[in-house]
């Protein structure tokens, strides 16, 4: 499991020119799954994600977590995080989990965030989406499960 997280001041996701999810202060989380990912991976990465101290404290030092400031998450499924570009010029996506299994894990990921009292907005799994991100900092971090 792999996440690309971006600290955001304001972000949204649209499908067919209609906004289906938006946040003000929080994190945009691009979520990808690979073969062998399990509930254990989801639980590990959620603990890391929601407790990662990447928001500024009163002194402007990244010392606060998503939980500390009560921020939201805009969660976007992103199979291309597992693109393999070692050969040729066209990425291979064989490392990405098949869509039916990935969708189940993606939905579980979002539900477990909500169980942790996180406000979660989402894109639409498998859809062609337009994601607008106002990256704050910019702060962009990659997280991977064990």
DSSP letter for 4, please: E
Where are the strands (E) in 16-61, listed by range?
Answer: 18-23, 26-32, 55-56
List CB contacts of 10: < 8 A, sequence separation 6 or more: 22, 23, 24, 25, 134
- C-alpha–C-alpha distance, residues 58 and 4, integer Å: 26
DSSP letter for 96, please: B
Question: Which amino acids are annotated catalytic?
Answer: 78-80
């Amino acid at each position: 499991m792999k996440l690309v997280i971006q600290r955001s001041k304001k972000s949204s996701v649209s499908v067919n020119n209609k906004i289906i999810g938006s946040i003000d202060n929080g994190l945009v989380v691009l979520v990808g799954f690979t073969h062998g990912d399990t509930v254990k991976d989801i639980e590990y990465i959620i603990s890391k994600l929601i407790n990662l101290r990447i928001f500024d404290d009163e002194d402007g030092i990244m010392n606060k977590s998503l939980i500390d400031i009560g921020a939201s998450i805009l969660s976007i499924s992103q199979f291309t995080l597992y693109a393999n570009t070692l050969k040729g010029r066209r990425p291979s996506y064989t490392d990405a989990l098949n869509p039916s299994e990935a969708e189940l894990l993606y939905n579980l990921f979002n539900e477990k965030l909500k169980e942790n009292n996180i406000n979660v907005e989402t894109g639409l799994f498998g859809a062609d989406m337009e994601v607008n991100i106002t990256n704050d900092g910019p702060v962009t971090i990659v997280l991977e499960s064990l």
